[in-house]
Homo-oligomer: A and B are copies of this chain.
Amino acid sequence: MKCCADLHLFMRCSIFRKGDFLMVVWKNFDELDSYKKLNELGDRVDLPAVMSGASGEKRVAGYSVPMSSGLSYNFASKKVDDEVLGVLSELAAEAQLTDKFAALYNGEMINTGEKRLVLHQLCRGQLGSDVIADGVNKREFYLAQQHSAAAFARKVHSGEITNANGEKFTTVVQIGIGGSDLGPRAVYLALENWARKNDTFRMEARFISNVDPDDAAAVLGAIDIAHTLFILVSKSGTTLETLTNESFVKAALKNAGLDPAKHMVAVTSETSPLAKSSDYLAAFFMDDYIGGRYSSSSAVGGVVLSLAFGPEVFARFLDGAAAEDRLAANPDILKNPAMLDALIGVYERNVLGFASTAVLPYSQAMSRFPAHLQQLDMESNGKSVNRFGEPVSYKTGPAIFGEPGTNGQHSFYQLLHQGTDIIPLQFIGFRRSQAETDVVIQDSTSQQKLCANVAAQIMAFACGKDSEDKNKYFAGGRPSSIIVGEQLTPEAMGAILAHFENKVMFQGFVWNINSFDQEGVQLGKVLAKKVLAHETDGALKAYSDLLGI
């Protein structure tokens, strides 16, 4: 026990990499020397000044980190300078961010609360050493599921698997909630038009998530149920909303004279009640080492996306994510965009005091990506205790929201520009559209107008504008970064998804919290069961009465 003098301390470190003896120590953010240094730096960058003239031009050129898949992360309009970056680099080293990531991908039990490994990266590639858990090489397990989904999708596309009348399935409906819904739905919408343009569009996908019966009713009303394949997604096989919606769908299938078992597949864990049920045409597996919000790369995203766009497109999506994961292993923050993004976010949250972040993709296809990030970030880092269950005395995860531009410009940007709180901004933009159908109006295409708007907004937020009429005065100093790419391809989408997963993970490491559990969602579930069992009194009973239960 080289690293620790007593048992208490032992809990806070771990030795890993057989024969390598690297020590990882889990300390609270405010125990670090770099925490003090960062706070001493304070709010030091005058954005309107540094973004003006030659200085601004130099920052846009220099404050940029290559991502994979032709993307780059540009942070010229963040409130940082070389000194801040220097301390952030020290923080990365002192908090052992790279080592902790290595511990994670090498199979340490990073999710201490639930006593689980954290392995979603393994779905996309072998980043470190082999991870053997439950007697299984987990990379091989995830790969086998991916291949199984691919083979199934090919059979559906070729007509080898059909409905009872021998007719091809044309539509796929995913039944799942939370991570089984938001990520796969966001990615489906992001790539739908790309797939149509590139002749890889195979099946239309729809999603049923909410326990609100009107959700299932609306989807069922809009599809041709006889030619629809349903994917039931529940890791535990016990998710209330999902099982309820399954019954809803089964009833509809039976009403239509169809055999549910011929129209449904399951994505679940091998130990769930769904795993070996004859109720499903096929089953695909996930496990406890991939959290719902990190599951788009697993069978949770893989089955529906392989059916919708073909397995090759899903594989390209994974390749983009894998390439981004490799960048995230780099200890140099200027070569590791996810880590840099994370550290700037920590500086904004804990030193500059900004409480929320807006995600603003200038791409209508990414319309639901902010909702996915909202779950990813807020469910991972919305915690008040450290990984040892002790209250922390600093702010953790911010509130996340967003809508696509230019729509947001005609909506909530007013507050972003002139409101009394500063909200950091995450722009995303692409030089080319997906459909590549465009019109020239007033000497520019729609795509050029879209891109001109994002460039203009960044500068308007950073530099503002003086005015005698204070109603038309913009203080500026509102920081943003942008991820820029050539086009929203499967690789780019995978890379962007992985970027944010890794960003959130690094922030959790800095804050010394467990980003991989979600105990905060349990209490409501317990109380809802009491309401349904009519085991309530006091205000809960009064609310139940009010809601007619």
Contact = CB atoms under 8 A, between A and B. Distances in A.
Interface string A63-74: 000000000101
Nearest to A248: B439
Contacts of A415: 378-379, 381-382, 397, 399, 520
A113 B471 contact: yes
A309 B52 CA distance: 52
Contacts of A130: none
Most buried by B among A221, A398, A549: A549
A450 B547 CA distance: 10
Nearest to A475: B384
B181 A407 contact: yes
B177 A407 contact: yes
B213 A465 contact: no
A211 B449 contact: yes
Contacts of A541: 57
Interface string A502-543: 000000000000100111111111111111100001111111
Given A521-B409, A524-B413, A454 B538 contact: no
A178 B407 contact: yes
A431 B547 CA distance: 5
Contact of A356 (B181, B355, B407, B453): B355
Contact of A523 (B113, B417, B443): B417
Given A214-B365, A384-B418, A540-B459, A412 B378 contact: yes
A395 B419 CA distance: 8
A83 to B, nearest CB: 20
A451 B379 contact: no
Interface stretch (A32-40, A239-247, A325-333): A239-247
A19 interface: no
A449 B548 CA distance: 11
A122 to B, nearest CB: 24
A389 B470 contact: yes
A404 B178 CA distance: 12
Contacts of A462: 539
A491 interface: no
A455 B400 contact: no
A411 B57 CA distance: 39
A455 B528 CA distance: 7
Contacts of A435: 213-214, 217-218, 221
22 contacts: A59-B539, A178-B410, A181-B410, A192-B218, A211-B449, A211-B453, A212-B433, A213-B438, A241-B410, A244-B439, A244-B449, A247-B439, A382-B418, A384-B420, A394-B420, A409-B521, A432-B548, A455-B527, A455-B531, A464-B523, A471-B514, A484-B547
Given A211-B450, A292-B410, 12 more contacts: A177-B406, A212-B362, A371-B403, A383-B419, A390-B470, A398-B421, A414-B521, A417-B523, A455-B549, A456-B530, A459-B540, A464-B523
